[in-house]
């Protein structure tokens, strides 16, 4: 039997890395714009090192982040997941963020309004509706109807059993509300905590969103420390996965394989990734990997 070796594809850039400046290149890329990029093959890559002499080259990047596409952010605490998450969800008009610990200051610093209940459907036929006031349900719907941005963060610090139950109910209400209102982006911080059967017990609702929300133009962004502790749907249903500096080889292998990537190439980049930088993979396996660093929210 004759064995024929397949010729390498000329459009396969899956082993290449591009560095995108956050404001000048990464955010425009999310919106579908093109740019020239600093590029190098995986390995020995320091995107912030001066004098590296990277070549400027036009490579076919993955497509922009479209409504209905999901994104997973994975990495240790303190490496910038929340900063990155706020940066990308800031490109969406309407966002609901779940903060089960009630401690995420990054979300409020970015202008999100913290709520302890989810806005009710607006009474469009109320006879004597007053002028919308900030902090009320009418204020939210007034902005939505005028196509103005709305950012809500649901969550508070629970200090008693009764507050634990109220927080669990709020998380469930928020998930169902986003599913029914359509067109929103749901940002789930601490996905492990939300999906744990011993804590928030929202795994089934979130999995349902990940599987069905694309049709409604609803995007789900999940943030967690390792895929071993959460539903595999978080990465299987994601079009984009962003990794933050880690030395957990098992985690890198699991994520790379879920995105159809050669884990050794991904590991080569992760081994050189500076603090607070991130590596974004997409399920378009012949497109380059993307390195960037999100600026701190002031």
Tens of pLDDT, residue by residue over 89-101, are: 999 999 999 988 7
Tens of pLDDT, residue by residue over 236-260, are: 788 899 999 988 888 899 899 989 9
Single out the residue of 81, 267, 85, 256 nearest to residue 187, CA to CA. Answer: 85
pTM of the model: 0.83
**Residue 294 pLDDT:** 93
Average pLDDT, stretch 190-212? 71
CA–CA separation, 261 and 240 (whole Å): 12
**Residue 53 pLDDT:** 38
Lowest mean per-residue pLDDT among 123-127, 156-160, 229-233: 123-127
Sort strands 94-98 and 70-74 into parallel, antiparallel or unpaired: unpaired
Strand order in the sheet with 185-188: 55-57, 37-41, 16-19, 289-293, 277-282, 238-243, 70-74, 219-224, 185-188, 94-98, 150-154, 113-115
* Per-domain residue ranges of the chain: 16-121+133-293
Angle at 152 between CA 214 and CA 227, to 5 degrees: 50
Whether the per-residue pLDDT at 128 is higher than 80: the answer is: no
Whether the per-residue pLDDT at 190 is higher than 90: the answer is: no
Lowest mean per-residue pLDDT among 184-198, 230-244, 250-264, 269-283: 184-198
Whether the per-residue pLDDT at 72 is higher than 90: the answer is: yes
**Residue 187 pLDDT:** 93
Cα end-to-end distance, the chain, whole Å: 65
**Residue 111 pLDDT:** 83
At the topology level, CATH places domain 16-121+133-293 in Rossmann fold (3.40.50)
CA–CA separation, 85 and 279 (whole Å): 13
Whether the per-residue pLDDT at 270 is higher than 80: the answer is: yes
**Residue 243 pLDDT:** 95
Is the model more confident about 72 or about 189?
72
Is the model more confident about 278 or about 225?
278
């Amino acid at each position: 039997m004759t064995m024929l070796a397949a010729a390498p594809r000329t459009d396969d850039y899956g082993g290449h890395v591009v560095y995108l400046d956050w404001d000048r290149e990464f955010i425009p890329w999310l919106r579908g714009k093109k740019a020239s990029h600093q590029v190098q093959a995986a390995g020995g890559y320091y995107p912030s090192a001066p004098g590296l002499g990277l070549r400027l080259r036009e490579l076919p990047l993955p497509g922009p982040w479209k409504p209905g596409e999901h994104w997973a952010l994975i990495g240790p605490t303190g490496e910038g997941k929340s900063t990155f998450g706020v940066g990308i969800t800031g490109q969406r008009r309407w966002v609901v963020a779940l903060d089960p610990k009630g401690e995420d200051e990054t979300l409020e610093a970015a202008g999100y309004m913290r709520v302890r209940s989810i806005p009710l459907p607006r009474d469009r036929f109320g006879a004597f509706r007053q002028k919308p006031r900030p902090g009320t349900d009418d204020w939210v719907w007034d902005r939505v109807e005028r196509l103005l941005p709305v950012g809500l963060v649901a969550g508070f610090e629970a200090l008693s059993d009764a507050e634990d139950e109220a927080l669990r109910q709020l998380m469930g209400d928020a998930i169902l509300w986003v599913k029914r209102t359509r067109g929103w982006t749901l940002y789930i911080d601490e996905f492990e905590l939300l999906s744990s059967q011993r804590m928030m017990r929202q795994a089934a609702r979130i999995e349902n969103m990940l599987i069905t929300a694309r049709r409604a133009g609803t995007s789900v962004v999940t943030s967690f420390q390792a895929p071993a502790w959460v539903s595999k749907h978080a990465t299987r249903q994601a079009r984009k996965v962003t990794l933050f500096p880690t030395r957990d080889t098992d985690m890198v292998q699991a994520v790379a394989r879920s995105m159809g990537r050669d884990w050794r190439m991904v590991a080569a980049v992760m081994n050189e990734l500076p603090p607070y930088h991130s590596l974004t993979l997409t399920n378009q396996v012949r497109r380059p990997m993307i390195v960037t660093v999100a600026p701190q929210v002031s």
